[in-house]
Amino acid sequence: MASSLNFPLFFTFLLATLLTTSITTNYGTFSDEVSEAITLKRIEITTHLHFYFHDILSGKNPTAVKIAGPLGFVFGSTFVIDDALTEGPKLTSKLVGRAQGMYVFVSREDNPELLMVVTYIFVEGPYNGSSISVLGQNPVLNDVREFPVVGGSGLFRLARGYALAHTIMFDFKTGDATVEYNLLGQKIAFGATAMADDPLTEELEPGSKVVGRAQGMYALASQRDSGLLMVMNFAFLEGGFNGSTLSILGRNRVLDPVREMPIVGGSGLFMFARGYALARTVRYSLKTGDAVVEYNVFVTTSCNAWIESF
Ligand SMILES: *[C@@H]1O[C@H](CO)[C@@H](O)[C@H](O)[C@H]1NC(C)=O
Ligand SMILES: *[C@@H]1O[C@H](CO)[C@@H](O)[C@H](O)[C@H]1NC(C)=O
């Protein structure tokens, strides 16, 4: 006999335990990674990259070319760049990547300000092929400028952070410049694991009736996307299901609108259960990581004795 349980279950990722671990990986002077466990469920890796950016307008092979705007370096001047990023301050030092994108003089004031729309694509070590995207304002005459990191690809997928730029050489005649960059990018770490004991409620509202608890773990098991491994028991407290559990083992790509996860078994009234759960995130806070997820669970059991008791 088949039966289905489809009263809406709401699943809240609420609390996390504090855990302190710190791992530092070194890849020479170009980069280092520090992973810091802020909470058990949100372990973030901070990557610090240090390199030099060479913006060359002069000579036969400029890496910055004006594509629009009036003569000189004035409001409206627009440049496309494919600039070398090197480990040391000299252009001949080891190439670690390229800065590709554009900058536009966007200020009419005396203090020139550039809008930077640039992707920093790296070729060095583990970062080969990964990139970081920067979108920000660059008042070039200031000693240190800060630009937001708005995203990335590869190892920097879902990254956020900031870049600090400091000009170490500027040729007023040609416009050539060498700029030192310190770039800090943060992302949630592959392998981050959390233990959960989250309430399952009947309705969305806080204070709504608790029908069970989700107890188990989830871990970031994908290096390329938001795929979590879920190993979880739903332990029910409500009515005839009080004391019965359902076990979930599956992949949960949390950024997908709806995720399907297999129900691999159960206990009590759900003994021998098979089925699937559909999860849909109703609320998510980027700042805290708290989430409310709606679950619709469909199960088949080989026993029908309990159906009357529901
Ligand atoms: C980076 O990756 C490209 C393409 O996969 C490869 O040709 C190149 O040798 C790699 N460079 C380094 C420094 O590993
Ligand atoms: C569920 O079962 C436990 C232990 O058997 C009992 O203490 C509790 O009152 C029951 N809850 C409900 C809502 O029936």
The reply to whether ligand 2 has any atom less than 6 angstroms from the CB of 237 is yes
Q: For 46-186, which CATH superfamily applies?
A: Allene oxide cyclase-like (2.40.480.10)
What is the pTM (predicted TM-score) of this model?
A: 0.55
Question: Average pLDDT in the 173-183 region?
Answer: 93
Ligand 1 centre distance from Cα of residue 123 (Å):
6
Look up residue 76 and give its amino acid.
G
Domain ranges of the chain: 46-186, 192-301
Q: pLDDT averaged over the chain? A: 81
The reply to whether ligand 1 has any atom less than 6 angstroms from the CB of 123 is yes
Burial class (CB in 10 A: 0-12, 13-18, 19+), 131: buried
218-276 pLDDT, tens digit per residue, is 888 887 777 899 999 999 998 888 999 999 999 998 888 899 999 999 999 888 888 88
Per-residue model confidence (pLDDT) at position 33: 52
- pLDDT-based confidence at residue 156 (cuts at 50, 70, 90): confident
Residues 265, 218, 186, CA angle at the centre, nearest 5°? Answer: 160
The reply to whether ligand 1 has any atom less than 6 angstroms from the CB of 206 is no
294-310 pLDDT, tens digit per residue, is 888 888 876 444 444 44
The half-sphere exposure of 221 on its side-chain side, counting CA atoms within 13 A, is: 14
Per-residue model confidence (pLDDT) at position 66: 95
Q: List the residue whose alpha carbon is closest to atom 13 of ligand 2.
A: 238
Ligand 2 centre distance from Cα of residue 37 (Å):
37
Return d(Cα 276, Cα 135) in angstroms, integer. Answer: 42
**26: CB partners within 8 A, 6+ apart:** 32
**31: CB partners within 8 A, 6+ apart:** 47, 48, 49, 50, 124, 125, 127
The reply to whether ligand 1 has any atom less than 6 angstroms from the CB of 70 is no
Atom of ligand 1 nearest to the CA of 124: 13
Number of the ligand closest to the Cα of 244: 2
Number of the ligand closest to the Cα of 240: 2
